Chains A and B, each alone.
Chain A
Amino acid sequence: MKFVDEFRDPGLIRKAAEEVRRIVDPARHYRLMEVCGGHTHAIYRFGLKDILPTNIELIHGPGCPVCVLPMGRIDDGLSIAADHDVIFAAFGDMMRVPGTNGSPLEHKARGMDVRIVYSPADAIKLAKANPNKHVMFFAIGFETTAPSTALVLQSAKKEHLDNFSIFCNHVTIIPAIRAILDSPDMRIDGFIGPGHVSTVIGCRPYEWISKNERKPIVVSGFEPLDMLQSIVMLLRQLEAGEAKVENQYKRVVPWEGNIAALRAMVEVFELRPYFEWRGLGFISQSALRLREEYAQWDSERRFAIPGIRVTDPKAAQCGEVLKGVLKPAQCKLFGKECTPENPIGALMVSSEGSCAAYYSYEHRKAALVTSLGATA
């Protein structure tokens, strides 16, 4: 099999795949959700689905920060930049995400001062280099990036940097998992837990999933072997009727997380009462905003924002795909109007979005097979 030849430890991978086949109950259908967009990307890239028994269904979770951001927040951020002549700084991932009147990149083409930064620390540098302009950093991400934004805010405060602010869209992973478990149309048997978010929050915050919801969760690394091992660990628990939090990614994820990072987050951020997620709707206490002590560096307090709420384009079914109710290719626009070159929904933009991942690997593979007239 090509998959096994191409990657590291083919022997171990083969063994893990055999172990999966040995454990699965052929009479049972397993729905396992990988929470993290990085895992979604890895699953398609490595063709993991091809080596798993067909009764193991992998459901893509909400862990792609660009994908879960409602379009109204992008519009709000862009309107601040347009109305107040500020420099709009954001990670590259954000640049092609469509707003109602185009992406940040398209706004740049129309004259807006839009800059790509690779680190929030560089947004501060930008502010220092442009003392006569205001620099707004459009912050997105889960707990993986929020601590960095927190440190940057601490240093802006310490240095009394006045021409800098954060448009905060940081979200937290636990309430999103809770929303998925509460959703009546979702039935998940177990979770592949996010690897890098867990380096910050550790494994303890997942304990309610096992205790209250009786679902197993295994925090996983990103290699094919990691993910197969995590699936084996989940299946073992499911077959034994157990529900535990396990850590497959011990080499990187400490059980207690990164205390210094959590401390920085707590010092700078507080929970919003609620926040809108694309596809999942409003989720209480699911996002971060700046504390009162940091109001001066909060774009939302500093500038009047329109508070735009936009529904997704009707034909696009991003919400259903995000919740795992539809597979990417089941959306009416997939691969036709909506492609990575011309994305209509955010899931087609980020490499961690399930539509982009599916398009890059599965869709092309299927197209190739069709064009060759090959049979399975």
Chain B
Amino acid sequence: MCLAIPGKIVELVPASESLAVVDVVGVRRRVDLGLLEDDRPGIGDWVLIHVGFAMSKISEQDALDQMKTLAMLGETDAALQEVRGYGLEDESEDHNEDHTKARSAGA
């Protein structure tokens, strides 16, 4: 719950006010950008995600660092499990499968 998960915005969901698809080491899920409405990120931007909501815009380098931090903390699997769980399991068909194999940069 308190994991901050870095993701790259790859798509803005057209029929919604604030949803975007993010890519987290190959896992793609929808997250809500509503908490960044004052400085709305766009496609290609990196964000830190908490419980399905983007909380801050970060640089690509910081995103990579954060992924390493999660790996060091032994939390990579928990983070990916969380991201896979966004949108409830039944709904994952649209942004399904992990394109690249989830790099579990095991600590």
Contact = CB atoms under 8 A, between A and B. Distances in A.
Nearest to A45: B73
B2 A118 contact: no
B85 A116 contact: yes
- Chain A's interface size range is 35 or more
B1 A91 contact: yes
Contacts of B68: 8, 223
A258 B59 contact: no
A191 B87 CA distance: 37
B32 interface: yes
A12 to B, nearest CB: 13
A133 B107 CA distance: 43
B42 interface: no
- Chain B's interface size range is 35 or more
B85 A125 contact: no
B34 interface: yes
A46 interface: yes
Contacts of B62: 251-252
B53 A119 contact: yes
A109 B62 CA distance: 42
A352 interface: yes
Contacts of A196: 2, 4, 48, 50, 55
Interface string B73-101: 11100100011011110010000000000
A148 B1 contact: no
Interface string A314-350: 0000000000000000000000000000000000000
A140 B50 CA distance: 13
B72 A223 contact: yes
Given A258-B36, A260-B34, A260-B36, 4 more contacts: A117-B88, A122-B88, A144-B2, A252-B56
